[in-house]
Amino acid sequence: MLRGVPLFAGTTDIEQLAIIIRTLGSPRLNQWPELTSLPDYSKIRFPNSVGIHWDNLFPSCTHAVEISLVSNLVVYNPKNRLSASEAVEHNYFH
């Protein structure tokens, strides 16, 4: 959306997960308690990654409202993610 290319462009599911973790940082239980209930949780060892700050990920983005939208959509915990109806009401679209 902001760069014109996929944000998490992995060629396999494992590569895509690695890119997501490298970008967002490691998922944390205090932010997403239901993480441990995912079917394959015990099969994955998450690296300790702090992620990339959105401003560094989109250096050419000059409008904070754009980063605000993306950072509220791309969140591990679905309970903390904007819904579609909330997203279209975001200031980015107005």
pLDDT attached to residue 2: 61
Nearest partner of 27 among 81, 78, 79, 76, judged by Cα: 76
In this structure, is residue 45 part of a structural domain?
A: yes
Sequence length of the chain is: 94
Q: Could you tell me if residue 4 is inside a domain?
A: no
Q: Does some domain include residue 60?
A: yes
Domain total in the chain: 1
Distance CA 36, CA 69 (A): 27
pLDDT of the chain along its 94 residues, tens only?
A: 566 778 888 899 889 988 999 999 999 999 999 999 988 888 888 888 999 988 888 877 768 898 899 999 999 999 999 999 999 999 999 9
- Domain housing 76: 13-93
Whole-number pLDDT of residue 23: 92
1 lies in some domain: no
State the CATH number of the domain containing residue 19.
Answer: 1.10.510.10
6 falls within a domain: no
What is residue 3's predicted lDDT score, i.e. its pLDDT? 64
- 22, part of any domain: yes
- Could you give phi then psi for residue 10, rounded to 5 degrees? -90, 155
